[in-house]
Amino acid sequence: MRLLASTHPTELKVCMFPIKCSQCNNILPIENISQSRKIGETQGFCSQCKAWTSVPLPSMQKQIIYLDQSFLSAACLEADKSNSQDEVRIHSKLMELKRQQRVFVIVSDIHSRETSAIADNYAENRNKLWQFQNDLADGSVACDWDEIFVAQWRRILVCQNDSYPLPATDIGLTNPHQLQIGVRIQPTNLWRQRLHRETARSPETINDELQNIYKRQLENIPISGDAYDCLNYVRELWRKDIRQGIASRRKQRELNRAMEQVIKELESGRIPEIPSWEEPSPFRRVVAEVIQGLEEESTLQRWLELLEDDSENLCAYVKIRSVFEAVLLWELKTGKITNNSKKFHRNLGLSRQNDIDHISTFVPYVDILTTDNSMRNLCENKLVADELKQFSCEIFSKSNYDKFETRLDKLLA
């Protein structure tokens, strides 16, 4: 199913130029113009010559905004509470700016995953929040972190650089700055909720795994050093994971060749020697996606060479996420936070990991991002701030929503 979203009146005012049929030069009415994500273009139907024509639309400089789950939940589910009035008021202004096409609001698959995890006894809230997010995104849901990881590494390996700003195509958007007119044809995205509900693991299971990971890392981290040494340690773990993914991909390729030989021997009546099978690396899938369509062996070899160099040859996602992981691990090591606290879910567990994913994934692509107060404080840690300062994104939370609102007021003015 696809959702038809009609143009707002204020959007029509933006379009001050006549749109004409490319064949007969007849002016096309707005209601005959539609935008389809499936074919990736805007088309107009000419009632005079009965033909569809491609409609090139100009770009407008919009502010790209990413709202985290805490903001969305407050604006949608807690709108009647006094402590959520800031979010409600800001949301109202954002909707007006969306109608004026001065902002583009991103909703991602990370939101989808978090919303789908809401328990069944809160199904009404889950569905309400899901619809709220889908409407905010106009049906266009941005990628999850792994797809962006793939896009960033492909660009490094193909173009031999990872210069900023990064293109919006990384996050599944063709051109968020493009003028929107006519009827927008968008997917309903209902399949995402079903998929996440079917594949979701319980927060308790995930938190148990995270506790074990932290325990292993604390046991292996160098005894002496400082937070910067901790960052080098964490980034080396990321490089190790990618190397194991590359090795696993090569073994898979060898196994495929060996199985082809097994089939040939079976067909000739001989009993072949069955090759051994090894558990694949968790990174094998993303490695396969990164090299898809490229010359495989030379690309894998270049990737390994980049990983042998310094940490500057990591993609943006890994650079940002690893610095958060290092700071949390260092705070664990120095006793500022504990691994077995009742607040583990919030401080280190699934909730915190989702917050880190929001920021690590989308800070390179957006102008404004919201998070909770605790996460924004973490962003002001020197180690994290030094990594984030190369991006132009401003990060807001409950404690400084007044500055966020002031920025929106300037756009409205």
Q: How far does the chain reach from its first CA to its final CA, in angstroms?
A: 38
What digits encode the pLDDT tens for the residues 164-214? 678 888 988 877 877 776 555 555 566 566 666 666 778 889 999 999 999
Q: At what angle do helices 227-267 and 316-333 cross, to 10 degrees?
A: 120
pLDDT at 264: 84
Helices (H) and strands (E) in the chain, counts: 17, 10
Q: Could you tell me what percentage of the chain is helix, strand and coil, using 3-state DSSP and rounding each to the nearest 5?
A: 60, 10, 30
* Residue 258 half-sphere exposure toward CB, CA atoms < 13 A: 12
pLDDT classification of 7: cutoffs 50, 70, 90: very low
Rounded distance, CA 236 to CA 52, Å? Answer: 54
User: In this structure, what are the phi and psi dihedrals at residue 315, rounded to the nearest 5 degrees?
Assistant: -70, 165
pLDDT classification of 4: cutoffs 50, 70, 90: very low
CB 181 within 8 A of CB 7: yes
Cis status, amide bond into 165, omega within 30 of 0: yes
Buried b (16+ CB within 10 A) or exposed e, 245-260: bbbbbebbeeeeeeee
Rounded distance, CA 11 to CA 103, Å? Answer: 12
What digits encode the pLDDT tens for the residues 291-335? 999 999 999 999 999 998 766 789 999 999 999 999 999 999 998
Mean pLDDT of the chain: 85
* Residue 315 half-sphere exposure toward CB, CA atoms < 13 A: 25
**Bigger pLDDT: 241 vs 15:** 241
Specify the 3-state DSSP secondary structure of 66.
Answer: strand
What is the residue whose two structure tokens read 């992981």? 325
Q: What percent of the chain has pLDDT over 90?
A: 47
Joined together, the tokens standing for residue 60 give: 């407008």
Whether 6 has a pLDDT exceeding 60, the answer reads no
pLDDT at 282: 87
Q: Which one-letter amino acid corresponds to residue 227?
A: A
Reference 82, options 91, 74, 94, 92; nearest CA is 74
CA torsion sign, 324 to 328 to 331 to 336? positive
pLDDT at 255: 86
Q: Which residues contact 372 (CB under 8 A, 6 or more apart)?
A: 68, 70, 355, 397, 398
pLDDT at 162: 60
pLDDT at 363: 96
Any idea where the domains of the chain sit in the sequence?
A: 2-54
Whether 39 has a pLDDT exceeding 60, the answer reads no
Q: Give the count of beta carbons closer than 10 Å to the beta carbon of residue 2.
A: 13
CB 192 within 8 A of CB 58: no
What digits encode the pLDDT tens for the residues 74-112? 999 988 898 899 999 999 999 999 988 899 999 898 888
pLDDT at 16: 47
Whether 252 has a pLDDT exceeding 50, the answer reads yes
CB 245 within 8 A of CB 146: no
Specify the 3-state DSSP secondary structure of 283.
Answer: coil
